[in-house]
Structure 1
C-alpha cells in the first residue's frame, strides 16, 4: 500500500514539475523577446512515463532551433540557401558576413533546466523522506515505549 501511494505521489509531483518547468521556459522566452516565439512555445511536449521497474521517466521535447537560440549559434539563413542565391545576398554581404547584428546567446533553457532539475531532485527526496517517516511511525507500537538505561 505504501509503495502504491509512493508511486502515485511521485507521478503527481513529476506532472506538476513538468507543467511548472514548461511555464518557466515560456516566461523566459517572452522575457528575452525571442523571435518566432509562437512556434517555439507551441512546440513543447511533455510526458510522464511509468516504467515496469518502478522507475519514473520524464520526457520534455521542443523545437530544435530553440537550442541554437539558447547557445547563440546558427548560420542565420534558411535551409538550402547557397552563395549566389537571391536569399544569400539579402542576408549577407559580399564577404559572407551577416548584414544585421551578430547573434547573442539568449539563455532561455540552460540555466532554467539546471535549476529545475535540482529542484526536482529536492522534491523527490523530500517526498521519499516524508513517506519513510510515516511508514516508521505507523509501524511503532501504539502504547508508550519506555527505554531504561
Structure 2
C-alpha cells in the first residue's frame, strides 16, 4: 500500500470517526427533534490532482444555529408591531414559550478532530520517511563528525 492509498484510508476513517463524535454529542445534548440533522451528514474524500488531499464534510445549515442557540421563534420578515409578534415575544423581544440555549455540539469536537487529523498525517509521513531512509542507509556503521 503506497502513501496515497494510506492517506485516503486514514482520511476515510477520520471522517467516519468525526461524524460518529458529532452524533454522540448531539445525543448527549438531546438534539434530535426530528433526526434530520443527524441524517444530514455527508462526507467525501477527494484526491486532488496536485497531490493534495481534500476532505469534504457537510451537514444541514440549521445545525450551526442549534450550536449557537439562535434562529428559533419567528418567521422571516416578522417585525415588532406585526400580527403574531406579541403572541410569541415579550416587550424586550425575548421568546415567551422557551428560552434559546446554545447546545455546543460542533466547535470543540471539530477543533480537536482537525488537530488529531494533522497529528495522524504527520505521524504517517514521518513513519514512511523513516522507513525510506533506513532502506537506503549502508549496512556498515556511519560516523558523522560535527
The number of aligned residues is 143
Alpha-carbon separation, structure 1, partners of 2:69 and 2:12: 30
3-state DSSP class of the match of 1:119?
helix
Structure 1 partner of 2:141: 145
Flag structure 2 segments of 5+ consecutive residues without an equivalent: none
Structure 2 matches for 1:1-149, cutoff 5 A? 5-36=2-33, 38-79=35-76, 83-85=82-84, 91-93=88-90, 96-141=93-138, 143-145=139-141, 147=143
Calculate the aligned-residue CA RMSD, in Å.
Answer: 2.3
The change in CA–CA distance for 1:103 and 1:53 in structure 2 (over 3 A counts) is same
The change in CA–CA distance for 1:37 and 1:28 in structure 2 (over 3 A counts) is farther
3-state DSSP class of the match of 1:138?
helix
The change in CA–CA distance for 1:110 and 1:55 in structure 2 (over 3 A counts) is same
Q: Note if contact 1:29-1:37 (Cα within 8 Å) is conserved in structure 2.
A: no
1:140 Cα deviation (Å)?
Answer: 1.7
Q: Note if contact 1:48-1:59 (Cα within 8 Å) is conserved in structure 2.
A: yes
The change in CA–CA distance for 1:89 and 1:133 in structure 2 (over 3 A counts) is same
Q: Which moved more, 1:121-130 or 1:102-111?
A: 102-111
Larger helix fraction of residues: 1
Scaled by the length of structure 2, the TM-score of the pair is 0.86
1:115 Cα deviation (Å)?
Answer: 0.3
Alpha-carbon separation, structure 2, partners of 1:69 and 1:123: 30
Q: Which moved more, 1:94-103 or 1:11-20?
A: 94-103
The change in CA–CA distance for 1:146 and 1:29 in structure 2 (over 3 A counts) is closer
Scaled by the length of structure 1, the TM-score of the pair is 0.84
Alpha-carbon separation, structure 1, partners of 2:22 and 2:56: 15
